[in-house]
Amino acid sequence: MAQGLFIGLITLDFIYSVHEYPKKNQKIVASDYLVSAGGPATNAAVTFNCLGNQSSLSGVLGIHPLTQLIRSDLENYQINIIDLDPNRLEAPPVSSILVTPNTGERTVISINATKSQVSNRLNLLESLDNIDIILIDGHQIPISQEIIQQAKIKQIPIVLDAGSWKPGLEQILPDINSVICSDNFYPPNCQNSEDVFTYLQSLNIPNIAITKGEKPIQYASLKEGSGNIPIPQIQAIDTLGAGDILHGAFCHFILSQNFTTALAESAQIAAKSCLSFGTRQWIQSLNY
């Protein structure tokens, strides 16, 4: 059983299935709703765990009453939580999400981790005992820097979920083994995917990929060259968390597969997750 450490955002997600978006000053009734823990690192940790591994999730949680909903959900998947601010009284970040099942599109309103940053350096060496892989989502960069320096000593591979550019990423990117970018990830002075590849390759990052929703994944690898990986063509019901799920699956497959195979296998898992409402129901179909 592989051990993974996932560092970043922990949110409480309220997810509503709606047939249309509300207009100004309009009330609508959702056809369904879910409440679950969310955030890029969180959904990736759940995915990694459900593929037969053990996940540790490092983020800010605290003791506000709302955190019990998060803890309850993560306990269902046996996620080990490493709370970076265990005495925090403020509410965790809350996301309100609208999903339209006829298109699979989702709209998210969230404050992410802007009000829950941890800047103090912690002795996290113990957290790396027996860890096989680390994923960072960029929402706790100071702590991520601490982890990265220790991980380099232990030669633990590090994956970056590059959803969007965040100040401070330039400090950790040179030490990342695999960067998986969304189509919205643009470092300074980058205008398109070619610019993004050029920027990341200038940092000598071994493996780089850019996901583009239902379009093929673009990749560039020092060992495997560059190219495109096709995405399964499906009728999506809900694309919420598909990228997070791909990243968690990638952490599983990259431990035993090469870069391109790991991406292709992960894309299959992510596509499967889009066939049902919410970020958890797809897990029931796993045969791992």
Which pLDDT does position 119 carry in this prediction?
A: 57
Which pLDDT does position 125 carry in this prediction?
A: 56
* Distance set, CA 7 to CA 50, 56, 140, 168, 249 (Å): 18, 9, 7, 15, 16
Which pLDDT does position 288 carry in this prediction?
A: 56
* Distance set, CA 286 to CA 216, 231, 267, 268, 280 (Å): 24, 19, 14, 12, 11
Q: How far apart are CA 155 and CA 69, in angstroms?
A: 35
Which pLDDT does position 103 carry in this prediction?
A: 87
Backbone angles phi, psi at 50, to 5 degrees: -75, -10
Which pLDDT does position 120 carry in this prediction?
A: 58
Which pLDDT does position 146 carry in this prediction?
A: 86
Which pLDDT does position 117 carry in this prediction?
A: 64
Give 120's DSSP letter: S
Domain boundaries, the chain: 3-285
Find out if CATH 3.40.390.10 is the number for domain 3-285: no
Give the contacts of 198 (CB within 8 A, at least 6 positions apart): none
Which pLDDT does position 112 carry in this prediction?
A: 64
Q: How far apart are CA 107 and CA 206, in angstroms?
A: 33
Tokens of 270: 């992510």
Which pLDDT does position 62 carry in this prediction?
A: 94
- Per residue of the chain (288 residues), give pLDDT as tens: 999 999 999 999 999 999 988 888 999 999 999 999 999 999 999 999 999 999 999 999 999 999 999 999 999 999 999 999 999 999 999 999 999 998 888 898 887 655 656 655 555 556 788 999 999 999 999 889 889 988 999 999 999 999 999 999 999 999 999 999 999 999 999 999 999 999 999 999 999 999 999 999 999 999 999 999 999 999 999 999 999 999 999 999 999 999 999 999 999 999 999 999 999 999 988 865
